[in-house]
């Protein structure tokens, strides 16, 4: 009988085995024209699920274990990698659903790759980390691993031309990584994103009813920013999302065009539920 309490304790703790402290990821700030673009490496901002490979397992940025099929990580290096699980442009929802599925969908995972953009365990500058990544991934020769293409751009005019071409082709925007930047957890001035619009995250606190053609459905989300400011997001929602809205308490990403005189986002538009914390 003494074994029964131990068994019950084990069963209660079992789900926690798939969780850990959130990995110490570097986060991007917003690019504002002014710095010397030629000192940055520029890559496409991929619309995927942020993931950290710790040398043995994959984790979301919230510290949840990702469980791909056994063969997906075959031949991956023992060094930690930072990247995005990506299934192609405009396929975030598909990639997110595959990552969260349990047991894993092998056919779905075959359409994903970890697009690697950094080597967090390396103590050097981004120039040095990028050179090391190229060697490391070439030696690994793993089909599910790919280095995000990085390029140099001469000036701000060329940068915005490249942004326009990327968005026209279905991309989301660009990332700029300063050549001398060191890897450190938290928001970094050496890692910046550039998009045709701003985006941010807010917490859903209420569902507001719709009117007219949306009668009986969700009209808007009432959300709250981290600073406590509240506002509505009514556009950008698909009919399916109006029928089954993002739950109260969930974190959503929205896009906007600058701020009003009151400091609230102008033309806030729903993009997605940020569900990469809960596979």
Mean predicted confidence (pLDDT) in 6-31: 62
**Rounded distance between C-alpha atoms, residue 154 and residue 149, angstroms:** 17
Sign of CA dihedral 229, 258, 149, 92: positive
- Give this prediction's pTM: 0.77
Mean predicted confidence (pLDDT) in 159-184: 96
**Rounded distance between C-alpha atoms, residue 127 and residue 118, angstroms:** 10
**Rounded distance between C-alpha atoms, residue 151 and residue 44, angstroms:** 10
The continuous run of DSSP H or E covering 36 comes out as: none
**Rounded distance between C-alpha atoms, residue 89 and residue 244, angstroms:** 25
| Contact present, 178 and 29 (Cβ < 8 Å) | no
The reply to whether 211 belongs to the active site is no
List 45, 193, 211, 238, catalytic entry:
45
Predicted pLDDT of residue 22: 74
Predicted pLDDT of residue 199: 86
Q: 276: pLDDT confidence band, cut at 50, 70 and 90?
A: low
**What share of the chain in percent tops pLDDT 70?**
91
């Amino acid at each position: 009988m003494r074994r029964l309490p131990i068994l019950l304790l084990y069963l209660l703790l079992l789900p926690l085995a798939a969780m850990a402290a959130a990995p110490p990821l570097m986060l991007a700030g917003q690019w504002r024209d002014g710095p010397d673009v030629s000192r940055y490496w520029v890559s496409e901002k991929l619309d995927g699920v942020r993931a950290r490979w710790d040398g043995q397992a994959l984790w979301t940025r919230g510290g949840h274990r990702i469980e791909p099929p056994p063969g997906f990580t075959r031949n991956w290096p023992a060094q930690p990698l930072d990247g995005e699980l990506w299934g192609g442009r405009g396929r975030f929802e598909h990639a997110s659903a595959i990552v969260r599925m349990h047991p894993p969908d092998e056919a779905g995972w075959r359409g994903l790759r970890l697009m690697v953009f950094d080597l967090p365990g390396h103590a050097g500058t981004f120039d040095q980390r990028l050179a090391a990544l190229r060697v490391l991934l070439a030696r690994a020769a793993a089909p599910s691993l790919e280095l995000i293409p990085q390029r140099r751009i001469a000036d701000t005019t060329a940068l915005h031309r490249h942004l326009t071409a990327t968005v026209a082709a279905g991309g989301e925007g660009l990332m700029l990584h300063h050549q001398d930047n060191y890897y450190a957890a938290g928001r970094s001035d050496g890692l910046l994103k550039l998009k045709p619009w701003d985006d941010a995250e807010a917490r859903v606190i209420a569902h507001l009813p719709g009117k007219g053609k949306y009668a009986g459905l969700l009209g808007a989300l009432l959300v709250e920013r981290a600073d406590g400011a509240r506002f509505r997001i009514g556009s950008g929602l698909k009919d399916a999302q109006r029928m089954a809205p993002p739950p109260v308490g969930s974190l959503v990403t929205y896009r906007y065009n600058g701020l009003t005189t009151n400091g609230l986002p102008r033309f806030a538009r729903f993009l997605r539920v940020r569900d990469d914390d809960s596979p």
